[in-house]
Amino acid sequence: MQLTPDLQKQLIETAIQVRQWSYAPYSKYRVGASLLTASGKIYDGANIENAVYPLGLCAERVTLFKAVSEGERDFTAMVIATENAGMPCGSCRQVMAEFGLTMRVIIVDATGKIHHESTVADLLPGAFTPKDLI
């Protein structure tokens, strides 16, 4: 599915909206993400922290895992919304790379202003992908 201006706007609004569902009692850093699949479906998710810090999960991975758990494997674009347009961590970039290097990644702040737009390949140069296992 092509990322049209209307779909991009919808993804941005969704990512901002789902920040409210974030469970971030420790960092207070609320993150929301929305994901457009090639089939046209939109998934969303928020970050979930844990008192045992490594057990938390970033919004980007929550969103991707929700989509994958429902059979999706082909993704067009992801929008990530934080208060200050923070970039995705390395773990999230690696999970994105698992499903394709051409997916668009758009980073916005809490007002919806776009601060960064690229592909997964641009975010993770030299990514280790399934083809490297052969």
Q: What is the mean pLDDT of residues 8-33?
A: 98
DSSP 26-71: TT----EEEEEETTS-EEEEE-B--SSGGG-B-HHHHHHHHHHHTT
Amino acid letter, 47? N
Question: What percentage of residues in the chain have a pLDDT greater than 70?
Answer: 100
Q: How confident is the model at residue 1 (pLDDT cuts 50, 70, 90)?
A: confident
- Side by side, the strands of the sheet bearing 104-108 are 42-46, 32-37, 75-81, 104-108, 114-119
Main-chain dihedrals φ then ψ at residue 53, nearest 5 degrees: -45, -45
Q: At what angle do helices 59-69 and 90-98 cross, to 10 degrees?
A: 20
Question: What percentage of residues in the chain have a pLDDT greater than 90?
Answer: 97
Predicted TM-score of the model (pTM): 0.96
On average, the pLDDT of the chain sits at 97
| Half-sphere exposure for 3 (CA within 13 Å, toward CB) | 22
**How much is the pLDDT for 10?**
98
Is the predicted pLDDT of residue 82 greater than 90, yes or no?
yes
- CB 105 within 8 Å of CB 92: no
Is the predicted pLDDT of residue 74 greater than 90, yes or no?
yes
Question: Which architecture does CATH list for 5-125?
Answer: 3-Layer(aba) Sandwich (3.40)
pLDDT digits (tens, 9 = 90+) for 41-67: 999 999 999 999 999 999 999 999 999
The Cα 14–Cα 56 span in angstroms is 22
Please identify every residue annotated as catalytic.
60
Q: How confident is the model at residue 134 (pLDDT cuts 50, 70, 90)?
A: confident
Residue 111, SS3?
A: coil
Is the predicted pLDDT of residue 111 greater than 90, yes or no?
yes
Give the chain's end-to-end CA distance (angstroms, integer). Answer: 29
